[in-house]
Structure 1
């Protein structure tokens, strides 16, 4: 093999290895410690959805809010472990202060110490 061919093969393999590793590496870590799915059956219209989302976003530590209006779901991502109790408090505030009672809620994902 001549020097050019060795150079070409070595660089080709390097590029292939780089591209493969770029696609196989895990993506960015989830930025939330807790993700809760709330069921709010009184949330029926886009106006209801906007009120609920705006109310939730006002709370400190909430990083993301997603809704599925036709199923009455609201996904809320909480940032800090300090807010471990906030998931319960938010459930109460949605009904008491906003008038959209949470019928049911499920923990979708929760970071626990020692588990990544």
Structure 2
């Protein structure tokens, strides 16, 4: 039976800080002026996710344990850089959650079909 694991934003941000603390002599400071670079690193990792989708396809991601593992690993890299960005801009879990819920509620009221037709 598979163990149910979940990770909170707080845990992700703490893990990011711990990893940075271990490597801070070689890595960029945990300051906002370096945030842009980590967004670019994150985009690079998103590119690796896209490569797997393009080269292997959705079916292989769903059926092949090896491909799936690699796919998830690359998604983890995306999230790790994302956490680094949040930390560099000193965004707290509470601050993030508040805005996330606010944006979700706003999106729930949007008419995407109408909005798309108006922009085309």
TM-score (normalised: structure 2): 0.21
Structure with a larger share of its residues in strand: 1
The higher radius of gyration belongs to 1
Which TM-score applies when normalising by structure 1? 0.21
